[in-house]
Chain A
Amino acid sequence: MSLVSLKFLLFCSLLLICFFMAPKKYQWVVLLIFSLAFYALAGIKNIIYIVITSSSAWIGALWLEKVSKKAKQYIKDNKENLTIEKKNIIKSKSKKIKKIILTGILILNFGLLCVFKYANFAINQINTLMGMLNAKGTISSLSLIIPLGISFYTFQTMGYLIDVYWEKNEACKNPLKILLFTSFFPQITQGPISNYHQLSFELFASHSFNYHNFVYGSQRMIWGFFKKVAVADLLSSYVESVFSNYNDYTGITVLIGIFFYSIQIYADFSGYMDIVCGLCKIIGIKLTENFERPYFSKSIAEYWRRWHISLGNWFKTYIYYPIAVSKWNTTLGRKTSAKFGKHIGKNLPASIALIVVWLTTGLWHGANWGYIAWGGLNGLFIIFSMWMEPIYDFVKLKLKIKGQIWKYIQVIRTFILVTFIKVLPEVGGLKAGLGLWKRIFTEHTIPNSLKALLPFASKAPLIIIALGTSLMLIFSLIQRKKSVGNVFNKIPTVLRIFILALLISILIIAACCTDSGGGGFMYAQF
């Protein structure tokens, strides 16, 4: 079910009625029923995979907790009779069993994810290799339909399991509660990837209808629909046209296309977040925010702390830190520090972890070399700036660069870099992505009219896009110091209603201008 549809609005209305009419104790059951219904509407067969993930996490977490508690209880009961060595043997035996349980469940779930997302990519690579070696025969591709939100729910649920393994969380006894945590419909298609401690607190608490929440939530939903329909969908027809035939256009038109793409993907993804966070706000649930004005970042590392925040946090918690602070890596850091100096010793462990994180992030986004190159480039820029930090500081000191102007230069530089890297996987693979870059840098014809500069774009959509982008910019500037919701709600009610009515009207006009009908969200493909 598309989030930008009348069907979805009816679905939400029905949910709100059932949710607030249900006894508070069973409100989470209402959410579970609606989440499963939402999932079933996207393809009832795929429900089996979400149930496998959810039940394996439920069983695994209880099992891990049982092993842990058993060892601790034994040590406690025999405190006086056990030597330190004996205690350590019991602890390490329990740790070993836990590791086996965790590994088994991770292999099952990430295995499923890999089969659905990467099997055909692997088959294509093998076929290409066989072709290069002149070997006979090819492997046929599998006809697989990727279950809705598998990348998101697998990461979220495995995060819960690892937290129980680390004893950060207690295991949840109720399998249906874990099923709701895995399948909660507002976040199933595009995240955010929440942690169990935070989301379970929100999901299983009692919620009463609150007018303030209703107003704030509804306004945020309208703003999200506006960003999606009036900015992202309108830009998509232009971007798609330019990207699919980039060799037919001038370098400057392709350059505008990639910047339009940057605005499109932000409006699309953050618009989705506004819709689902707004809906959750109405029912009293606070979802993790995924954006913090990312295009105002001063470096790529900062950009990734402000764009798709929940995915970044997942990678930081479950991949970056475990590798960066592992015994072998910290030992390597200490040894290199003693031999080659502190700068190398400090940066080497973090760099190793970052390479793994960024290649995995690339793969998570999609199975093609463009995504792997995209992840690798992001990682390389972050690692490069980390190693070059003393040189930057030296140059800044020598050239006496400081103050706001330097910050503006950093923000613009980061936006340009991010925009160029972003398009690499988007035109159907690395080769085509590099083709876009080549066209921009090698084709220098100056278009002689607006029509030549912006083909496909007619006046009305361009005005709406300009208005929507300006509004996003203004809201981002307000967000620096204040909550946009609070500022907006201080405006007199009549004016507020007028602005909302205007946004809805523009949104309807924009929907009429969209050739493709819009609706699909870009991040849902991941």
Chain B
Amino acid sequence: MEQLMEILMEINPDIDYKNEKELIDGKVLDSFSIVNLVSQISETFDIEISPKYLIPEYFNSVDAMWKMIQTILDEE
């Protein structure tokens, strides 16, 4: 989780990730940030995030992203 927080802080340090639950639906993160985020997560956790995961449900909060990472790791 700490690694994920580090990635997010690097993308935009001004966002309150701990409390923000609508990162995508609330338009806090745009599609450019998502691409950057996916690239960093893939590298850090050595996983491949397929386009099927690129929906708000998996990126609206830190917890949702963490859950997605765990799901992909389990699948692999």
- A-to-B contact residues, CB < 8 Å: 166-168, 301, 316-318, 320-322, 324-325, 327, 330, 333-334, 346-347, 349-350, 353, 386
Is the Cβ of B52 less than 8 Å from the Cβ of A166?
Answer: yes
Q: Contacts A321-B54, A327-B48 given: A316-B31 contact, CB under 8 Å?
A: yes
Is the Cβ of A333 less than 8 Å from the Cβ of B52?
Answer: no
What is the interface of chain A mostly: helix, strand, loop, or mixed? helix
- Say yes or no: is B70 at the interface (Cβ < 8 Å to chain A): no
Is the Cβ of A167 less than 8 Å from the Cβ of B52?
Answer: yes
Is the Cβ of B39 less than 8 Å from the Cβ of A322?
Answer: no
Is the Cβ of A349 less than 8 Å from the Cβ of B50?
Answer: no
Contacts A166-B50, A168-B52, A318-B51 aside, 14 further interface pairs with beta carbons under 8 A come to A317-B51, A317-B54, A321-B34, A321-B51, A325-B35, A325-B49, A325-B51, A327-B48, A330-B39, A334-B39, A334-B43, A350-B32, A350-B35, A350-B36
Q: Contacts A166-B50, A166-B52, A327-B48 given: A321-B43 contact, CB under 8 Å?
A: no
Is the Cβ of B52 less than 8 Å from the Cβ of A353?
Answer: no
Is the Cβ of A386 less than 8 Å from the Cβ of B32?
Answer: yes
CA distance in complex: A232, B38 (Å): 43
Least CB distance, A212 to chain B, in whole angstroms: 26
- Say yes or no: is B55 at the interface (Cβ < 8 Å to chain A): yes
Is the Cβ of A333 less than 8 Å from the Cβ of B39?
Answer: yes
Least CB distance, A277 to chain B, in whole angstroms: 21
Is the Cβ of A353 less than 8 Å from the Cβ of B50?
Answer: no
Least CB distance, A23 to chain B, in whole angstroms: 35
CA distance in complex: A477, B30 (Å): 24
CB-CB nearest in chain B for A322? B51
Is the Cβ of B31 less than 8 Å from the Cβ of A330?
Answer: no
Is the Cβ of B42 less than 8 Å from the Cβ of A330?
Answer: yes
Least CB distance, A289 to chain B, in whole angstroms: 14
The interface residues of chain A lying within 8 Å CB-to-CB of B48 are: 327
CA distance in complex: A419, B58 (Å): 36
Among B34, B43, B51, contact of A330 (Cβ-Cβ < 8 Å): B43
Q: Which 3 A-B pairs have the closest CB atoms?
A: A166-B52, A324-B35, A330-B39
CB-CB nearest in chain B for A333? B39
* Residues 36-71 of B contacting A (Cβ, < 8 Å): 36, 38-39, 42-43, 48-52, 54-55
CA distance in complex: A330, B36 (Å): 9
Least CB distance, B24 to chain A, in whole angstroms: 12
26 contacts between A and B (CB under 8 A): A166-B50, A167-B52, A168-B52, A316-B31, A320-B31, A321-B31, A321-B34, A321-B35, A321-B54, A322-B51, A324-B38, A325-B35, A325-B38, A325-B39, A325-B42, A325-B49, A325-B51, A327-B48, A330-B38, A330-B39, A330-B42, A330-B43, A334-B43, A347-B32, A350-B31, A353-B35
CB-CB nearest in chain B for A349? B35
Is the Cβ of B31 less than 8 Å from the Cβ of A166?
Answer: no
CB-CB nearest in chain B for A316? B31
Least CB distance, B39 to chain A, in whole angstroms: 4
CA distance in complex: A322, B43 (Å): 17
